[in-house]
Structure 1
Amino acid sequence: MDSLKINQTTVTWLNGGVSHVDGGTLFGPVPKVLWSRRYPCNEKNLVEMPTEPILIQHNQKNYLIDAGIGKGRFSEKDKRNKGISEESTIPEDLKTIGLSEQDIDVVLMTHLHDDHAAGLTKIENERLVSAYPNAKIIIEQSEWIAMKEPSKRNKGTYPKENWIAIEPQVHVFEGYFTTHDGIELFKTSGHSEGHSVVKLTLGEEVLIHLADLFITHAHINPLWVSAFDDYPLRSIEEKERWISEGLEKEWTFLFYHDAYYRAVQFDKATKEIKQSIKRSKKADVPLRYES
C-alpha cells in the first residue's frame, strides 16, 4: 500500500477495486487525439480506473474517504457492463496496518455513485449489512436526497442496496462540514448534485482531494470534464476555483481514480508535475507523455 506521512498524520490508499471505462466517457468532449497524449487507453479504448479509498489516521481517529466498489456487490453481468476487473480488498489492507473495518471512526463521502458507495455495505449471512458499523458516515444533504430519490438518469448508480443498511449511521450536512481537527468538506456540485471535496490542513501543509471533479492528474485543464458529470458547467467553474487556488498555494492534490499517481504537487507556472507519489501497483498500460 502507498502512504504519505506528515507530522503525526498518515494518509494511506486502500484497494477498493478496479474498473475500466470508455476513454471518451472519462474525458467527455475532449478529442482522443488530445487526452490520449496525457492518459493512455488499451486497444479497446478502455481506461483503467481504480477506486481507492483514502485512509487518514489523524488525531487518534481513523477517517476514510469513500468506500470503493466493495466485494460481492455486483453480478457478473454488472461487472461486465461496468468493466470491473478487481473487487475490494479493504479488510485485508486494513489488517496489514493493524486495523479492521470496526476501527473506522468516520467515513467522509465525496458523493454516492456506486463506484464510491457500494463498498459502504457488504454481504454477511446472505444479507446486506454496514461494512463500517462503528463509523459516522458524513454525506452532503442534497446528495443523500438524490440517492434516496434518484432521477431517471441516476437510478442505476444510486441503488437502494447502497443506503438502506447504513441509514442509521448517516449524518448529513448542508454545504460545509468540518471535523474541527483540520478536515473540511465543501459542496461543489458539478459531478453530482451534492458532490463535495475534502481539504486537510496540517500546519503549513494542505492536502486537497477534489474527488471526481479532478478524476486523474490529466484532468488539470478545467475544461476537461467527464461525460459522467450531471452539471458540467458547474464542474468547470469549481475546477477553475479549486485548482487555481491549489496551484497558487502549492497544495498537494490527492487522487482516488488515478492509475498512475496517488498525490501530486504541480508547478503553478507550467502546470506540470513538480512532486508526486506514484502508484506502486503497475497499471495495465504504461504512462507515456508525448512532447
Structure 2
Amino acid sequence: MENQRITRRIASIKTPPVQPGFLGPDHTARAVIYNEFAHSDPFILLMDDFLDKKDDKPVGGPHPHAGFETVSLLLEGEIGDETHTMKQGDFQMMTAGSGIVHSETIEGRSRMRLLQLWLNLPKADRWAEPRVQDLAFDNAPAAEKNGVRMVLYSGSFAGLHSPVKNHVPLVVADMRLQPGARLNETLPASYNAFLYVIEGEIRIGDDEQNLRSNQIGWLDRGEAGAISDISVLAGNVGARAVLYAGEPQHDEIVSYGPFISDHQDEIKGLYNDFRHGKMKHVSTLGDGQRFHY
C-alpha cells in the first residue's frame, strides 16, 4: 500500500530570546535550537550570532570540535580562519569527525551575522576523517520563480542540487519571497524540518499558520519513504527564511563542550587528544580534505 502524502504544517513555534554572546559586549546570540535533541535529531543546536564590533581588538581564536559537523551560513559581514574567509552569503560545512581545531577570528571593526548549526553524524561516521567544504554564494545553485528567490546550499530541493557532500541527508535553502509570493515544493516526509525567519513573516501549510521574524517553526513529519508538500506564503512586506531539513539518525548522543560522542568516556579521550596536540588544525588539511565550490 502506497504511503500517504502529507502537507506539512507547523507542529511548534519558538521565539528564542536575545542573549549576551561570548565575544564581548558587542556580541548577542539567539539559541534557536538548544538542549532538545530528542526532538530535533539530527540537529544538535543552532545559534544565530550577531556581532557589531566597534573596536580593533581581535576576537575569537582556535578551538576544537569532534564527533559532528558544523554547518555555517554567513548572513552578513566576513569571518574566517587561516585558510579561508567567508563573505556574505557563503556557506561552510566542516566535518569535525575524529577531531579538528579551527579558528574563527574577527579582526578590527566588524558587523557580522552568522547562523551556525551543529549537525549529528551517523554513528558509523562519528569519527570520520575531518574535511571542510566551502560553497561561495556566487557558486551556490539558485533560481527565481513566481516571486521566490531560492539559494540552495545543501541537498536537493526545488529542482536545485548542491555539490556539497553529506554524511546525513540535509537540505539547507535560503529563500526570499516577494510580498504575497508562495512557494510550493516537496520534501521527504521523514525529514525533520524547520523554518527560521530572518525578515518579515510567512504562513505555512494549508492552515497558513503565521511565523514571524526571529521565530523557528518546526514542521510535522510523515512516514519513511513518503513525500510531503511544503507551502510557504509571504506576508504583505515579503520575507526571508532559511529552511533546514534532515534525516533523523535515531542514535542517542553525549554532548559536552565542543565535543559530541556516543559514550561519556569518549569525551575524556577527546579532551586528552586536544590537550596533547593530537588534533590537527584545519590549516593542515590536504587537498582531499578541503573542498572549494
Q: Same fold (TM over 0.5)?
A: no
TM-score, length-scaled by structure 2: 0.26
| Pair member with larger Rg | 2
TM-score, structure 1 normalization = 0.26
More helix by share: 1
Instruction: Name whichever structure is richer in strand by fraction.
Output: 2
Higher RCO, Cα 8 Å, sep 6+: 2
